[in-house]
Amino acid sequence: MRRSLRTAALAAALVLVAPTAATAADDVLTLDDLPPITDGMLTSLFNVRTYDNLTGILTTRTYDPTYAVKQLGDVSTGSGETVVTLASDILFTSDSDKLSANAKKRIGQLVDDVPKSATLHVDGHTDSVDTPSHNQALSERRAKAVAAAVADARPDLDLEVRGYGESKLKESESGDDVDAARAANRRVELRYEGSATPSPTATATTSTTAPTGSAAVRAVPTWEGVLADTMAESPDVPGAKVRVGVESVVVRGNVMQVSVLVEQVGGAPARAHDLVPGLSRPLVVDRENLVQYSVLSNTGQTWSTDQLGTVDLVAGAPTRFVATFPAPVAPASAVDVIVTPGSFELAGVPVTTAS
């Protein structure tokens, strides 16, 4: 049964991209003969097994990138209280408490609806990485930075500022998706009595506009011409150094593709996912518009060009991985690419648009 399912999925994929057959012996098939990727193709590729029954039937889910787009300021209400959660990964770079001008402006907008002269609690939180004392100090600094932005926008508010470090985790940092849990725990919360109407925010496009530009064959990976790169010790393999770089960030119609190079610098070959945690699911952060993008995935299916579990990194041979994200909800000239938080982060990578 499993073999027939794989065969059917492959046949469907082949039908999607099959070009017109050559009509003459001298016709040469090139990538330009293939059709552009459309939302219909993406939807068809989202044929995944459902695990709520034992039928094993493939189901189709409509292509919807909304879940992979996270904007600053998640507003929730309950028991007479409003909580505005600010994702630290969007507000701050790793281990920093510095706010950009755009971040300060957006924070000011998010407290527009707070009742006049109200008491606003500004609470800083971190994940459990690093020591408790380090996390406590970082949460306090970040809470103070956000409070200063609030005070500039709303001097009438009575601010109570406090850092909790890792003492009040929102999500348990265990299980299969530790990275996502830690990201949820890194936050600053604004709390006040009363309710507010969340401001409308931009959403990811789900139109049927196809990516433009002709297809191209990628050259063998080299470090020449990379837009940004960094070298650090692997957080999970002591003593192993890894170089990580970004070749390109290209918007193609409704998607954004990020090409990442990785190479082990010396030492015995090792699996890519062991050396570079998070390589299969990097994040893209647009700090200008304060939006974070996740890799498009569905029930274990990740949009990348390689099977990370079967790839070994060796010295002198960079390996390319391409991750696909939703297209930006607002024009962005540069983004941060976060492969492994705190270890492999590339800031200010230029964004281009295929034409």
> pLDDT band at 221, cuts 50/70/90?
confident
pLDDT of 7 = 38
- Which carries the bigger pLDDT value, residue 220 or residue 3? 220
pLDDT of 29 = 62
Give me the mean pLDDT over the 233-256 stretch: 92
Tokens of 351: 């964004």
pLDDT of 211 = 45
Count the Cβ atoms, other than its own, within 10 Å of residue 141: 16
CA 75 to chain centre: 20
Place of tokens 């939807």: 43
Q: What is the DSSP letter of 65?
A: G
Look at residue 263 and give its three-state secondary structure. Answer: strand
Per CATH, the homologous superfamily of domain 67-193 is OmpA-like domain (3.30.1330.60)
Report the candidate in 307, 280, 299 with the shortest Cα–Cα distance to residue 58.
299
H or E element in which residue 324 lies? strand 319-326
Q: What angle do CA 109, 162, 182 make, to 5 degrees?
A: 80
DSSP codes joined into one string, 119-181? EEEEEEE--SSS-HHHHHHHHHHHHHHHHHHHHHH-TTSEEEEEE-TTTT-SS-S-SS-HHHH
Third-level CATH fold of 228-353? Immunoglobulin-like (2.60.40)
The full set of domain ranges for the chain reads: 2-64, 67-193, 228-353
Tokens of 246: 């970004």
Evaluate whether 303 touches 243 at the Cβ level (below 8 Å). Answer: no
Evaluate whether 299 touches 48 at the Cβ level (below 8 Å). Answer: yes
Place of tokens 């380090």: 134
Judge if 67-193 and 228-353 fold alike in CATH terms: no
Question: What is the rounded CA–CA span in Å between residue 281 and residue 326?
Answer: 13
Q: Out of 20-24, 64-68, 94-98, 335-339, which region has the weakest mean confidence (pLDDT)? A: 20-24
Q: Which residues are paired to 243 by β-bridges?
A: 231, 263
Could you read off the pLDDT of 138-196 as tens digits, one per residue?
A: 999 999 999 999 999 999 999 999 999 999 999 999 877 888 899 999 999 999 998 76
pLDDT of 300 = 39
Could you read off the pLDDT of 100-114 as tens digits, one per residue?
A: 999 999 999 999 999
pLDDT at residue 216 tops 50? yes
Round the average pLDDT of the chain to a whole number and report it. 80
pLDDT of 190 = 98
Give exposure, 231-268, as e/b (b: 16+ Cβ within 10 Å): ebebbebeebbbbbbbbbbbbbbbbbbbbbbbbbeebe
Evaluate whether 201 touches 178 at the Cβ level (below 8 Å). Answer: no
